[in-house]
Amino acid sequence: MSIWKAVIVVSAGCLLAAPARAELAWVPARDGFAPQNAVVGGNESNGERLYVCRAAHNGGFHPGKVRAAFKGCYFGAGGAEHAAPSYEVLVGGPAVWVPAQDGAVPPNAVRGGREGSGETLFICRASFEGGIHSGKLRPAFRGCNISYARKEHTVHQYQVLALQPAAPANPNTAQFDCACLHNRAGRWVPFEYAWSGGKLQGSTLPVDQQVAICQAFAPGTMFRELKVRIDRSNTGGAAYTDYAIKSYVSQTKSCSSVPAQGHYDVEVQPGTNDQFIRIAHRGTASAVPATPAPGTVPSQAAFGCACVNNGAGQPVQFRFKWGNVPFKTLTLDPGMVYAFCWPYGTGAHASPPLEFMLNRATDGSAAFTDYALPRVQSPTNQCSGVPKAGQYWVRFQPGTNNQFLHVTK
């Protein structure tokens, strides 16, 4: 799987756009799901968004389009429209759509895949039947090849997704305060970060990739503390732990220019039987979390937890948020459990309100419904140790012929 190195840049507490080459990435998905930061490739004639995807076919990777009702990535090949339930979605940005025609490929075009013979396929989109549909391009096509109504179509006037060139750095003004995380854990790692108590920003660190977390820095200003929160659980639940990370001045927003002291590894924690991961400073034996580690908390009621178990036998989609932060949309695979746990720390046993919405529809449409998930006090944030009163199940709702899901105790 081809992934561009991800870079996150923060200035005054807000996410800023880095060069597109640094932020675009292909993320595995299935059954019509697209992450929140998926690249929009177009829309249906009714306005419903279509996202850029790609799927394996006959030894190649073919760009196409996805939305929830498709239940997969739709792409054209051999004159026909194909649907792949497992695929990858393009996320990140920024990038731009550049007009072209008759097979032309502009500079900085995003490589979206390849033919089985190895020829590069680029990402394009074209107007067709009242909508805009993303597809694939190479010069021999003489146009953008899209899929629609079970057929593959070639449109000679189209747009190509291209990277935005990075602006040249000015050594007198372009300084940044940065820390770099390197994923050595062998799995995708969800994480959140914030500068000096600001709002948490969420992202994901791909396997064997690195991410630079940066803020704009001017000489004479004070450093702001960087907090990074990672999901330490390797068992399918959620065990977020805070780490205080020291950042360093860098001339660019790239890990290659960040001093060695500012590099940290996300790795499997020794002595946990591969159950947990941690952040460790490069060249040191360990790093100390800013909050107690899972399973080692001193209090018998260290967390407020609710655990959602998928007993439906199929992937289910849900949204949630703590307090006033934006909603996150996730997919829970069959037989898996997701832990909603808030660490109490040494203060009062209180937590922000938890809002939870389940997509009850099983036909690929969206029917999100709010459910109250009262949390219980727990000595651990692992669902195997959360009391029964905090366990919830997603199952088929009786009397709906398996058309709808619901949450039950």
CATH of the domain at 248: 2.60.40
Residues in the chain: 409
Q: Are 143 and 154 in contact (CB under 8 A)?
A: yes
26 contacts 37 by C-beta, under 8 angstroms: no
- Tell me if 209 is assigned to some domain: yes
114 and 70 housed in the same domain: yes
- For residue 86, give Cα distances in angstroms to 27, 193, 253, 401: 11, 30, 33, 26
Q: Which two tokens stand for residue 391?
A: 């366990």
Q: For 165-222, what is each residue's pLDDT tens digit?
A: 654 445 444 478 888 998 888 877 888 888 876 777 877 777 778 888 888 765 544 4
Q: Domain for residue 5, yes or no?
A: no
Q: What is the pLDDT of residue 18?
A: 31
Judgement on whether residues 207 and 101 belong to the same structural domain of the protein:
no
Asked if the structure places residue 296 within a domain, the reply is no
Q: Decide if pLDDT at 1 tops 70.
A: no
Instruction: Please indicate, yes or no, whether residues 274 and 348 belong to a single structural domain of this protein.
Output: no
Omega before residue 315 within 30° of 0, cis: no
Q: What domain count does the chain have?
A: 3
Q: What is the arithmetic mean of pLDDT over 40-58?
A: 91
**Most confident listed range (95-104, 195-204, 220-229, 286-295):** 95-104
Say yes or no: 323 and 271 in one domain: no
Q: What is the pLDDT of residue 358?
A: 92
Q: How far is CA 352 from CA 291, 322, 377, in A?
A: 17, 6, 14
Q: Residues near 194 by Cβ (< 8 Å), separated by ≥ 6?
A: 13, 200, 201, 226, 227
Please tell me the distance from the alpha carbon of residue 163 to that of residue 1, in angstroms, as a whole number: 19
Average the pLDDT over 129-149 and give the result: 94
Domain region containing 257? 178-281
Residue 169 lies in a domain: no
- CB hemisphere CA count around 31 (13 angstroms): 13
pLDDT for position 227: 84
pLDDT confidence of residue 237 = 60
Listed in order, strand segments (DSSP E) in 255-402 are 263-268, 277-281, 303-310, 316-322, 328-332, 337-343, 354-359, 368-371, 376-378, 391-396
- 142 within 8 A of 101, measured Cβ to Cβ: no
Mean pLDDT of the chain: 79
Specify the pTM: 0.41
- Non-local (6+) Cβ contacts of 174 within 8 A are 251, 252
Within a domain: residue 118?
Answer: yes
Q: Which of 250, 281, 312 is the last residue of a domain?
A: 281
Q: Does residue 394 carry a pLDDT above 90?
A: yes
Contact 148, 138 (CB under 8 A): no
pLDDT tens-digit map of 216-269: 765 544 456 788 888 777 666 666 777 878 887 788 888 888 888 888 998 888
The label of the residue with tokens 């799987």 reads: 1
Residue 30 located in a structural domain:
yes
Last residue of a domain, one of 163, 190, 224: 163
In a domain, 295, yes or no: no
pLDDT value at 295 more than 70:
no
Give yes or no: residues 66 and 151 share one domain. Answer: yes
Contact 210, 180 (CB under 8 A): yes
| Whether pLDDT at 15 is above 50 | no
Out of 15-24, 46-55, 168-177, least confident range = 15-24
User: What integer pLDDT is reported at residue 169 of this predicted model?
Assistant: 45
14-19: list long-range contacts, CB under 8 Å, 24+ apart: 15/201, 16/216, 17/93, 17/94, 18/253, 19/163, 19/164, 19/165, 19/166
Q: CA torsion sign, 31 to 33 to 38 to 42? A: positive
**Which alpha helices (H) appear in 202-300, and where do they start and end?**
none
Q: How far apart are CA 53 and CA 350, in angstroms?
A: 41
- Which of these three, 121, 140, 163, is where a domain ends? 163
Q: What proportion of the chain, given as a percentage, has pLDDT over 70? A: 81
Q: How far apart are CA 15 and CA 47, in angstroms?
A: 28
10 domain-assigned: no
Clarify whether residues 217 and 275 are in a common domain.
Answer: yes
Cα distances from 385 to residues 125, 240, 267, in angstroms, run 50, 16, 24
127-137 per-residue burial string, b: 16 or more CB within 10 A, e: under 16: ebeebbbbbbb
Alpha-helix residue ranges (DSSP H) falling in 5-98 = 20-23
